[in-house]
Amino acid sequence: MTMNLKTNKGIPIQLFSLLFVFLCHIGLAQQANVNLDYNPQKDTEGLIPFSAPLNSPEVHDDRTVTFRLKAPKAQEVQLAGGALLTGLGRGNEQVPFTKGEDGIWTLTVGPLRPDMYAYHLNVDGMQITDPNNTYAAFTAMPPYSQLIVHGDGPAYYDAKNVPHGNVTRHVYHSEVTQGEREMYVYTPPGYDPNKSYPVLYLLGGSGELPSNWIYDGRANFILDNLLAEGKAEPMLIALPNNQIIHRNHPKHTELTFDVFEKELRAHVIPLVDQNYSTIQSPKGRAISGLSMGGRHSMFIGFRSLDLFANFGILSAGDGDAEKTLAEFLNDPEVNEKVDYLFVGQGTEEAKGFFGARVKGLLEALDNHQVEYEYYEGGHGGHDWSTWRHLLHEKFLPNLWKRK
C-alpha cells in the first residue's frame, strides 16, 4: 500500500524530503563539517555554526574575511596571531575591530592569499580563540583558531577525489618516559605488507603534538595528492611525539636530544618496524621536522647515521653549528653516508632570528663541503604555511630519489 501524504502546501512528502536532501548536498552551511570541503568558511546558506551566535570568520569569494564577536561589555577587541598577521603584512601589529550599537564587534581584512592561517582574538588584553569558529588547533599549548581562505578549487593540501592512505594511531608504553605515549603512522594508498617501504619520521615543533602534522600540516593529504600526480615515492610517514621534556623545563635544551634519541631507538623505530613492512636500513629511513623538530632531526639525526641517511631540516639551524655538529661535519665519508639532506625555510622567516640560525647551518655545511639542497620559498613566516609548502614543493618530491 502506497500512501501519498502531502504537506500543507500540497507538495508530496516524499518529494519534499528528496528536495530537502538535495538542497542540503548542494548548499552546505558555513563550517557544517559535512564534507572535507576546501572552502568550509564560505557562507553558502546564511546559517551559523551549530551552537555559535554569529558567523566568524566568513570568507568571501574576493578572499576578504569578516570576523565577528558578540561582546557588548568589551572595551577593545583586536585580531592577533603571527601567521595571520604575517599574511596581512602587519608584522606583529594587531588589527582593531569596530564595535556596533548591538554589541557586535566586526572586522574585515584582506584580500589574503589562499591558505590556512592561525589566529587569536585579543579582548581587553586577554588572548582567546574565536568562540564562533569550529576550526581550532589541538596542541600541546593553548589552542588557536584556524582561518581557511579558499581559492578557486582544492589546494595541494586539501582532500581531493584521489586514492587516500590511512592514518593509524598507536598508543604504547615507554620505558624512557615511564608512561603511555602516542604515535601516528600513515600508510600510502594500496599499502602492500608484502612489499618493503621507506619510512619518514616526521617531527613537530615546540608545542606541537604528532596529530598537528595531520590537522595543521595536512601531511597525509599532501602525500596523497603527490602520489596521485606521480610526483613522490610511496612511503610510510611515522609521526612520533617529540615532546619529551617539558618545553619550559630549565634544562630542556641540555636534556631533550639525548632523551628523544633513546625514545627513537627503544620504542619509536622498533614499533614501526614490527608493525609494518619497512626497509630497515639507513637508506630506507628519513628524519625531518619543523623548528624544534628540525633541531631534533639535526642534532639526533646527524649523529645517528646508523639509523638515517635522509634528512629534512625545516626552519631550523644553529649559529654555532661548527661546534655542535663537528662530528658530522668532519666525517670524511659524510657525503657517501647521506643520501639526501634538505634545508628549507619560509621567505618571511628568513629575514629574522630563525633565518640567522639557518644561515649558520648552511655556512657550516659549505665550509665542510657537505652536499645539501637549500630552498627558501612560500609567503609564510615561522608557521604552518611555510611547513606545508616546504613539504609539498621540495622535500617529499625529492625524498628517496637522490642516490
Long-range (24+ apart) CB contacts under 8 A made by 39-47 are 39/148, 39/150, 40/135, 40/148, 41/65, 41/133, 41/135, 41/147, 41/148, 41/149, 41/150, 42/150
User: Cα(125)–Cα(132) distance, rounded to whole angstroms?
Assistant: 19
Q: Are 102 and 71 in contact (CB under 8 A)?
A: no
Pick from 86, 95, 22: nearest CA to 385: 86
The three cell numbers of residue 220 are 597525509
CA–CA gap between residue 310 and residue 329 (Å, rounded) = 15
Q: Kindly list the structural domains of the chain, giving each domain's residue range(s) and its CATH number in brackets, ordered by start.
A: 25-149 (2.60.40.10), 166-398 (3.40.50.1820)
Supply φ then ψ for residue 353, to 5 degrees.
-55, -50
* Per-residue confidence (pLDDT) for residue 140, from 0 to 100: 82
Burial class (CB in 10 A: 0-12, 13-18, 19+), 305: middle
Query: What's the rounded Cα separation, in Å, for the pair 185 and 175?
Result: 21
pLDDT in tens, 277-316: 999 999 999 999 999 999 999 999 999 999 999 999 999 9
Please tell me the distance from the alpha carbon of residue 276 to that of residue 271, in angstroms, as a whole number. 8
Query: Which CA distances in Å does 97 have to 32, 73, 86, 118, 124?
Result: 26, 14, 18, 18, 12
Residue 76 pLDDT: 97
Return the pLDDT at 197.
Answer: 98
Q: So what's the pLDDT on residue 80?
A: 94
Q: What is the pLDDT of residue 30?
A: 67
Q: Which of 280, 278, 287, 297 is nearest to 361 (CA)?
A: 297
pLDDT tens-digit map of 236-285: 999 999 998 888 898 888 888 999 999 999 999 999 999 999 999 999 99
- The torsion angle over the Cα atoms of residues 58, 63, 64 and 65, rounded to 10 degrees, is 30
pLDDT for the residue 27: 41
Question: How far are the Cα atoms of 6, 47, 144, 271, 377 from residue 50, in angstroms, in the given order?
Answer: 30, 9, 19, 40, 38
8 Å CB contact between 38 and 115:
no
* pLDDT of amino acid 4: 40
Q: How far apart are CA 346 and CA 34, in angstroms?
A: 33
Regions of the chain with pLDDT less than 50: 1-29
Would the pTM of this model clear 0.75, i.e. be above it? yes
CA atoms within 13 A on the CB side of 187: 15
